[in-house]
A and B are shown apart, each in its own frame.
Chain A
């Protein structure tokens, strides 16, 4: 969390001649990060980010304590003064008899320390300017002296405080009564901001003598007993709570307050006493309040000091070089730890406000950050590098992407989530999709099991483009596995728009298969796919398919031009890929060429025809399609022998075999 720290207030706890610039720079390097320094109304205000593990620093005094340890490391003298932990608890002398009684019942599991005092004779009025200004610099609106005192205590020391109107706390047997307990599910409570909350259950609350809930503990006080202009007697209330309870309630009700963000980090019960003392003093000075008797304090388990140890060896290994005993002692002393340093180990006694320090590396952090990360020598990892083998997936993914780019395709990245609407358009059964329980919007709900919707969305979004679109995406899809995490499979999808797209994409796939040394998957005619037309669709077996998208599907996506898609499974490509090219001796003799124009029967599959004819004789090295016109297919035939120059005598019988196969298997004849 971030807190605002006015420079002049900070210096009430920090004696130093450090400039604001030095404070900003040195604290950021070794402690809490000062993100900005703002000039407001003649005051310099630091905007400080404090990490969740350091609730002790979430206050003006807390920052001062850090600064006093850090600044001397940079040669700037600094001293932490007015340490709240040093406050003497004075006995209250009061003329008022104990007629203002308060009955209290609490539960130490939920509330490790309860401290309250009745303050009588209070005059509610606006705060003096110095107080309201201080609060405003730290982002809190001044309200009246009573509320402002509680906020002052929170900002100065990081201990939230609350004031109840004594006369509005429900009584039992004539005595105002507070019972701290866990709530039941469904109980209602109106907080002082006017909101009524229905409680999730197991929230820490206070019930009064009449059975009404008057405090949503650690988050916000109840409205019924809040401070009003005519309040005469208050209960000043300081406490600590089980952080997990506060956190859960605050999150469940989405009710985030400064108090809740502090309490949920776990606050130091030892601090409650000194802050109570400060509070009583402020009530006396600012509201002419008089404390009735002594604070009521329920604190069954006070803090017991404990120690944490680390080895010098581990510290040296983290920092990369050994530190002197004196330096280690100095650093830890300034932070409030009591260190014992021997040749092999460092042991510290942890102060009550630093209970985040529990294991060896926590001490290492304290020493290392004050030593200065900037002072640690920079060096590359110097151990022996492990012998690991890179997953071939990454190579092929990168290779395919690069080749497609060079073929003129443009890569897209679609969101992995589909909308409800898309699942309907693409007939995806949502039962077998990984579904987001807390989606951000209805557009992004289901984890995609296919890239088809994404690539067609990209086509649709660019429909105004003047040229034919050639787009691709290579991403993981998330396939359903019953009672398990999804199967995450890399898929390639290419989409091409325009009338000639099928042929272009088929060519692209042929080249890809050639490049990876995989023979082109043989056509399977009974393949069908719900997104594709039946006439222009080709299965590529376990690799994927090519096909023209159905017109009605395109129309529902506002796409007017024909679109063909090619989908390939990357893992199958890797499994079938030839890792290296195989050497074939370069022919010594030149090939001969010949073009044959064949008249074919309707619906002859020319791909099949070529494949069959190629196998008619070993001297045929290749056959390609030169031209296609009505029922004529002109084939370009290459003859090659590894042993000799081919003569027309040699070619003649081979040609005869081609023609007889063409006639026998396809009814095709040579055009004269």
Chain B
């Protein structure tokens, strides 16, 4: 009993000493609060009454000692508080927590995902290495079709030998994220609001091309989907990601897997879409105030059919663009060599 009480007294002393040091109350109030009859020590004094004579003496002494220490702490604090404040060099550099960095591509992917989640588009993942069927043929691009030139495709050596259809045997590194279109439709859930972000590969490497890059694909399938919905989708993204002052437009284009097809332009952030710089010079970044952002279109009926979707009941749009390019366009940085992105040079990575 007395052992435990002694321990409690010591613990209370520790606690009160700490409080005494840090408290801003004036001395009289603090003494009454920490040492008065209603304080924790006051309560312990009442318990002492129940002890044996020996114990009373022992614990009583301890209690008084402890109370004195607390009182000293209170007094010391008061004197200290009246002393002049010591000089402190606030210009000394602080103690910094470590800073890590996320790759600029990760940052862009997170931003894009967030933006589209808010209008009900959910991110999914589809293969980055896929069959010719999903990467080309199901997208209305038969073998030997000139439209395939657009994609400098890497092929994988070993075919899938137990498949009868040649296009399902051949394996490619996906040159775009559109291989996810038919795969997503095959899940059989309609309507679809999909975002697919993945690595893509093309046979190209120079200051403005990397053999590995990331693409983003948006797909919407529902009843009565219109070109206006695609415009709304793009406009929403452009304003959220690049800023409310940016505008977008569609231009006619041709892709085998959409009809009609469009190229998407946004106003240039450097010249504000005027093609003329504040100093009167011509803007070098854009073409007449516009920058190409993405390829898009209304999904071709053959593609819908390949995904098991009835084109007489449903329509939809698809849009794809490069994550790296979009990120660069946002930050306004023009890398003199885009391959820096994957060089893993810390001097580059630590800038983001």
Which chain A residues have a beta carbon within 8 Å of chain B's beta carbons?
24, 28-33, 35-36, 51-54, 243-244, 247-248, 251, 264-265, 314, 317-320, 359-362, 364-365, 368-369, 373-374, 376-386, 388-391, 393-394, 398, 401-402, 404-417, 434-441, 444, 447, 457-458, 461-462, 465, 469-471, 475-476, 478, 483-486, 488, 590, 645, 647-649
Residues of B within 8 A of A (CB): 3-4, 7-8, 11, 97-103, 105-106, 110, 113, 117, 119-120, 122-125, 127-131, 144, 146-147, 149, 154-158, 160-162, 171, 173, 189-193, 199, 201, 203-205, 211-212, 220, 222-229, 231-233, 235-236, 249-254, 259-263, 287-288, 298, 300-301, 315, 341-346, 349-350
B346 CB contact (under 8 Å) in A378, A413, A462, A483: A462
Min C-beta distance of A31 to chain B, whole Å: 6
Q: Is A36 a contact partner of B120 (Cβ separation < 8 A)?
A: no
B349 close to A386 (CB less than 8 A): no
Partner of A320, one of B227, B263, B343: B227
Would you call B193 and A380 a contact (CB within 8 A)?
no
**Residues on the A chain within 8 Å of B7, using CB:** 647-648
Report Cα–Cα, A31/B131, bound state, in Å. Answer: 34
Residues of chain B within 8 A (CB-CB) of A35 are 287
Identify which of B124, B236, B344, B349 contacts A380 (C-beta below 8 A).
B236
- Which residue on chain B has the smallest CB distance to residue A380? B232
12 A-B interface contacts by CB (under 8 A): A319-B228, A373-B262, A379-B231, A386-B189, A402-B102, A408-B97, A411-B103, A413-B105, A434-B157, A434-B158, A436-B154, A648-B3
Given A33-B253, A381-B220, A390-B123, 12 additional A-B pairs, CB 8 A: A30-B252, A31-B252, A53-B254, A365-B259, A376-B231, A380-B236, A381-B225, A412-B344, A417-B212, A484-B160, A647-B4, A648-B4
- B144 near A244 with CB under 8 A, answer yes
A381 contact from B155, B158, B232, B252, Cβ within 8 A: B232
In this complex, what residue of B is CB-closest to A432? Answer: B158
Task: Evaluate whether A415 and B349 lie within 8 angstroms (CB atoms) in the complex, with A36-B287, A319-B227 already known.
Answer: no
A411:B101 contact, CB within 8 angstroms: yes
Measured between beta carbons, the chain B residues less than 8 angstroms from A485 are 127, 129-131, 160, 171
Alpha-carbon gap, A150 to B342, bound state (A): 48
Are B123 and A408 within 8 A (Cβ)? no
Nearest-CB distance from B312 to chain A (Å)?
Answer: 9
Smallest CB–CB gap between A495 and chain B, Å? 11
A373 surroundings in chain B (CB, below 8 A): 227, 231, 249-252, 262
Closest to A462 in B: B346
Q: Is the CB of B123 within 8 A of A394?
A: yes
A361-B162 in contact (CB<8A):
no
Other-chain residue from A317, A391, A484 in contact with B226 (beta carbon distance below 8 A): A317
Would A376 and B227 be within 8 Å (CB), given that A440-B204, A485-B129, A488-B127 are in contact?
Answer: yes
When the two chains form their complex, are residues A378 and B235 in contact, meaning their CB atoms are under 8 A apart? yes
| B154 A317 Cβ-Cβ under 8 A | no
List of A residues within 8 angstroms of B106 by Cβ: 401, 411
Total contacts A to B, CB within 8 angstroms? 256
Nearest 3 A/B pairs, CB to CB: A408-B98, A385-B120, A51-B254
Interface of B is mostly: mixed
Q: What separation, in Å, do the CA atoms of A243 and B261 have in the docked complex?
A: 23
Q: Which residues of chain B have C-beta atoms less than 8 A from A386's C-beta?
A: 120, 122, 189-193
CA distance A604 to B315 in the complex (A): 68
Who on chain B is nearest to A381 by CB? B229
Contacts of A374 in B (CB 8 A): 249-250
Q: Establish whether residues A434 and B156, one from each chain, have CB atoms under 8 Å apart when the complex forms.
A: yes
The CA of A465 and the CA of B127, in the complex, are separated in Å by: 36
Instruction: Give A389 to B124 CA distance when docked, in angstroms.
Output: 10
Q: Which residue of A lies closest to B210 (CB)?
A: A415
Asked if A413 contacts B155 (CB within 8 A), the reply is no
Chain B residues with Cβ under 8 A from A248's Cβ? 144
State whether B205 touches A405 (Cβ < 8 A): no
- Closest A-chain residue to B117, C-beta based? A390
Which residues of the other chain, B, contact A376 by a CB distance below 8 angstroms? 226-228, 231
CB distance from B60 to the nearest CB of A (A): 20
Cβ contacts under 8 Å, B199 to chain A: 416, 475-476
* A384 closest partner in B (C-beta): B191
**Minimum CB–CB distance for B321 against chain A, Å:** 17
**Does B226 contact A414, Cβ atoms closer than 8 Å?**
no
Of the residues A379, A439, A440, A457, contact of B232 by C-beta under 8 Å:
A379
CB-based contact B349/A410 at 8 Å:
yes
Q: Are A404 and B233 in contact (CB under 8 A)?
A: no
| Docked CA distance A264–B146 (Å) | 7
Closest to B287 in A: A35
Provide the bound-state CA to CA distance between A476 and B120, in Å. Answer: 26
Known: A317-B224, A379-B228, A462-B344. A441 touches B251 (CB 8 A): no
**Chain B residues within an 8 Å CB radius of A402:** 102
Q: Are A412 and B103 in contact (CB under 8 A)?
A: yes
Taking a contact as CB atoms closer than 8 A, the residue among A36, A364, A444 that contacts B211 in the complex is: A444
Q: Which residue of B lies closest to A371 (CB)?
A: B227
Contact indicator B254/A361 (Cβ below 8 Å):
no
Complex: A404 Cα to B11 Cα, angstroms: 39
- Supposing A373-B252, A379-B232, A436-B156 touch, asked if A486 and B344 sit within 8 A by C-beta, the answer is no
Instruction: State A359–B258 Cα separation when bound (angstroms).
Output: 13
| A378 and B251 contact, CB distance less than 8 A | no
Q: Which of B3, B147, B344 contacts A461 (CB 8 A)?
A: B344
A436 and B157 contacting across the interface, CB-CB below 8 Å: yes
Distance, CA A447 to CA B173, complexed state (A): 10
* Residues B203 and A440 in contact, CB atoms below 8 Å apart: yes
- Determine the residue in chain A with the shortest Cβ distance to B155: A437
